[in-house]
Chain A
Amino acid sequence: QKEVEQNSGPLSVPEGAIASLNCTYSDRGSQSFFWYRQYSGKSPELIMFIYSNGDKEDGRFTAQLNKASQYVSLLIRDSQPSDSATYLCAVSPFSGGYQKVTFGTGTKLQVIP
């Protein structure tokens, strides 16, 4: 079983719709959760992080965390063609000091104009 699992996609949504990206993780000790966006041929860039159960909103992005069910999701409202990218979920147990982050393989999102 992979430590961090994501559906590889592609997930296709029409422009203006809500895109919902999901991630499950196996380590119950995980405490920090990150969403990165990676455009084709580029490096990952952080969208947001979350470490408390519930929702965290930042502009059009909302991260949702449910530690009991061991999943984290990212909602993108009013999706734009520029949101078309691969979204990486990253999970860390945060044992202090070194931040051991495990990445999922990513979900490819396509926003159709």
Chain B
Amino acid sequence: NAGVTQTPKFQVLKTGQSMTLQCAQDMNHNSMYWYRQDPGMGLRLIYYSASEGTTDKGEVPNGYNVSRLNKREFSLRLESAAPSQTSVYFCASSVGRELNTDTQYFGPGTRLTVL
């Protein structure tokens, strides 16, 4: 099992360009998440999908959109990139059962620079 995979690993954009970050998991998890990690800020939730067919905003959703394509795949789109979106983006997934031990598993991350 590959776990959680993300593409691309690195990306450089110019201000105003758009792109989509891809995420897929092969663990049959119900819930998927997108985080960004900035120095001194920790991991902040952008969007999440509790189950296939649903998506909801997290702590910092402005400037992003998501699509839960199917149970395996959850993509993050930047419609008009801004320098403030320079960050490391992590996708994560979890079983999503109503258990207090539900654990999130992270992908390797995408390092995005917006010039």
Contacts and interface: CB of A to CB of B under 8 A. Distances in A.
Interface of A: 4, 8, 31-32, 34, 42-46, 49, 51, 88, 92, 94, 96-101, 103-106
28 contacts: A4-B42, A8-B40, A31-B100, A32-B100, A32-B101, A32-B102, A34-B103, A42-B108, A43-B90, A43-B106, A43-B108, A43-B109, A46-B103, A51-B100, A94-B100, A97-B50, A98-B48, A98-B50, A98-B56, A99-B31, A100-B45, A101-B45, A103-B42, A103-B43, A103-B44, A104-B42, A105-B40, A106-B42
Given A43-B109, A44-B106, A99 B96 contact: yes
Q: Is the interface of B mostly helix, strand, loop or mixed?
A: loop
B93 to A, nearest CB: 11
A44 B43 contact: yes
Interface centre among B42, B105, B106 (most CB of A within 10 A): B42
Interface of B: 31, 40-45, 48, 50, 56, 90, 94, 96, 98, 100-109
A40 to B, nearest CB: 12
A103 B90 CA distance: 13
B101 A105 contact: no
A5 to B, nearest CB: 10
A8 to B, nearest CB: 8
B113 to A, nearest CB: 15
Contact of A44 (B31, B44, B90, B101): B90
Nearest to A34: B103
A80 to B, nearest CB: 23
B94 A46 contact: no
A71 B94 CA distance: 25
Given A32-B100, A94-B100, A97-B96, 19 more contacts: A32-B102, A34-B103, A42-B108, A43-B90, A43-B106, A43-B107, A46-B103, A49-B101, A49-B103, A51-B100, A88-B42, A88-B43, A96-B98, A99-B31, A99-B94, A99-B104, A101-B104, A103-B42, A103-B43
